[in-house]
Amino acid sequence: MTTVPHWIGGSPVEAARYFPVVDPAFGKTVRQVAMADTQTVNSAVKMALTAYPTWRDMPPSKRVQVMYRFKMLLERDAEALCKLISEEHGKVLEDAMGELKRGIENVEYACGIPELLKGEYSHNAGPGIDTWSNHQPVGIVAGITPFNFPTMVPLWMFPIAIACGNCFILKPSEQVPSVAIKMAELLEEAGLPAGVFSVVQGDREAADALIEHSKVKALSFVGSTPVAKAIYERGASLGKRVQALGGAKNHAVILPDADLENAANTLIGAAYGSAGERCMAISVVVCVGNQTADVLVDKIAEKAKHLNIGPGTEPGLDMGALVNQAHRDRVADYIGQGESAGAVLRLDGRKHPLVENAPGYFMGATLFDHVTSAMRIYQDEIFGPVLCVVRVDDFDQAIELINAHQYGNGTCLFTRAGEAARRFTDEVEVGMVGINVPLPVPVAFHSFGGWKESLFGDLHAYGPDAVRFYTRRKAVSQRWPTESAQETAQFSFPSH
């Protein structure tokens, strides 16, 4: 059986310990992935420290030449990358391609780093004094990424980090390890020097080693809120710069004036795309008024019945398998909890034929109506194809409901009223907002991140915030007095 190695010093590195990588559509092991220990992480850091001085001092215009070539190689090998994503994660090929394209946008943004790193300059800021600021790389930085976006989330991180002059160590999820190695190979083909980018496969042992290593100066993480919070607190206590993105419970508010047919069509994709394994998935629909809810729930239920579900590598499907059996069972348990709590189960994904008859980890689309804020299915991030409908009397209640929730990642509003849309964007306590856009994931030249328990740290992922996160600002004040100038001691604080 093939193995997925680490990538350290520009070469694959095997290990003493391996973990099975399972194709979730068929429930079978397809390869084995190397598992890093502390020594493996130390080796990657050592190689990064060796490569860092030369890479840091390379002109940004030279560094981005690697990124230009890397972008073209990603596009060249897109089909092979998407097949790996689908085979290890379970998502359908079309969704994998969409993920890859959004990741490539971040490589394109990184190609503009010569402009993005330009500092500020003030001539004669003081008497004969010029002041300027510049961006300098942080050093050795690391990313710990989740299973649900094995290409896009790493591409949020390492292209901009590397373009800024840092060396980057990636620890991907051990459930989806192959595309990380494929991207490492493409970076080498693009001309990236050995040691600038490394991949250490593994579990918590590898993650802890990166967090604890004194030479790793910054950490980026995407995952569940409890882990994000723990990593943020531990990393910050060690003096590291940390951005840790956590969980979500994303609401879509439907006003009575909305185009309900179009809303139902877009919500189907936003709720059930990638089997709901997205931190930006819409998992709650808040309908203002019972009439709105009655019409919309009927439309969604009818459309969700006809979703094409199957192995993600087959063409023409809407939804693939969940990532593993334990997660499929967890989603099924939440459905049972919702039913017991009194929510109206309009569509039960546990009864889909593939759940009983297929060897993989499938779950059909599930739709609950009359959900209340006290129910676990409303409070918790289920991370599966489960959509909850909450009914409220007015727009005020809808905003209050969202603002009271612990998460504040993404939300959207469906309406034809500009006044309502403006009020919603101003008052809702959520980091990413869509108006008639169900998945308001910002483009690469903006930044991605939520509020409240969805993000720990001051800076969001990718875009302008990534430049700030992966660099340090340095301000320089310079004066060249004439030879005849006589300096005198000044004991007051300098001023203009």
Active site residues: 279
Cα Rg of the chain, angstroms: 25
Query: Tokens 């930044």 label which residue?
Result: 447
Closest CA to 429 of 468, 402, 392, 464: 402
DSSP letter at 274 equals: G
CA distance 368 to 388: 5
Type of residue numbered 430? V
Cβ atoms of 460 and 447 within 8 Å: the answer is yes
H/E element, 479: strand 471-479
Cβ atoms of 189 and 204 within 8 Å: the answer is no
CA distance 399 to 141: 38
Instruction: Write the CB contacts of 135 (distance below 8 Å, at least 6 apart in sequence).
Output: 117, 119, 164, 467, 471, 472, 473, 474
Type of residue numbered 80? A
Cβ atoms of 95 and 430 within 8 Å: the answer is no
Angle at the Cα of 64 (from 150 to 62), degrees rounded to 5?
145
Alpha-carbon distances of 297 from 73, 150, 332, rounded to whole Å:
44, 33, 21
| Cα 84 from chain centroid (whole Å) | 19
Angle between the 78-89 and 178-189 helix axes, to the nearest 10 degrees? 160
Instruction: Write the CB contacts of 435 (distance below 8 Å, at least 6 apart in sequence).
Output: 412, 413, 415, 421, 424, 425
CA distance 16 to 9: 18
